[in-house]
Amino acid sequence: MSEKKKADLKSIQQQLDTDHREPRSLPPVHLWTPEFSGDLDMQITRDGRWIHEGGEIKRAAMVKLFSSILWREGERYFLVTPIEKVGIQVEDVPFFFTALEVHDGEAGQELVFTSSTDDVVIASAGHPLRIEIDPDTNEPSPYLMVRYGMEGRLNRNVFYQLADLAEERDGVFGVESCGQWFRIG
C-alpha cells in the first residue's frame, strides 16, 4: 500500500474516532406533535436489537436514525417526525449500553456510558443509574436514564465493570459519578 493511501486511511480513521466522541445532534422530537398514525411492526428487544416485520435491522445507520426520533408517552413508545407518529413495541427499555469509560471531571469521577446506538450518557443527577432486582431470580438489571423519560439497560459486561468500581459506604455498595452516589448492590 502506498504511503499516500496509508495517510488517507489514517486521516479517515481519525475523523471517525473524532466524530464518535462528539455529542450527537438529535432532532427536536420534543417540539413535534403530529397525530398518531398507527402502529408499525417494529420492536426493540431486551438486548437492544431492532426488529422490523420479523427481521433484524442490520444497518447501524438506520437503527441510529430511528433511535434519534424515539419518543415515550406513558408506557408506549413511538417514532416521531414532524408529520407522523407511529407506535412501536419495546420489550424492556429502548437503549442498550455496551461500553463504560471512567473520566475525571469537574465534580470528580464521571461514568461515561455509550449505547449500541452511539448515545453517550454520563451518569449524574439528570441521568441516574438504578438497579432493579428480579424477585424470582434475584438477578440485578441495571438501568440508566437517557432522555425524555427513556432508559437504557447496561449489558452484563458493563455492569461487571461498574461492580469493579463499586465501593462500600455505610454498608451499601455503590458508585459515584458527577458528585452523585448510586447504589448498585
Confidence (pLDDT) at 119: 96
User: What parts of the chain have a pLDDT lower than 50?
Assistant: 1-2, 4-22
Is residue 122 one of the residues assigned to a domain?
A: yes
Residues 74 and 101 in one domain: no
Whole-model pTM: value is 0.83
Residues 71 and 141 in one domain: no
Confidence (pLDDT) at 106: 87
Please tell me whether residue 31 adopts helix, strand or coil conformation: helix
Is residue 140 one of the residues assigned to a domain?
A: yes
Is residue 10 one of the residues assigned to a domain?
A: no
- Domain end point (choices 75, 90, 105): 90
Residues 78 and 140 in one domain: no
Confidence (pLDDT) at 23: 56
Q: What is the CATH number of the domain that holds 174?
A: 2.30.270.10
Range of the domain at 156: 95-183
Q: How many CA atoms lie within 13 A of 44 on its CB side?
A: 24
Confidence (pLDDT) at 85: 97
Q: Structurally, how many domains does the chain consist of?
A: 2
Q: Which amino acid is at 59?
A: R
Is residue 8 one of the residues assigned to a domain?
A: no
Residues 75 and 106 in one domain: no
Residues 171 and 119 in one domain: yes
Confidence (pLDDT) at 109: 95
Backbone angles phi, psi at 8, to 5 degrees: -65, -45
Residues 117 and 44 in one domain: no
Residues 124 and 71 in one domain: no
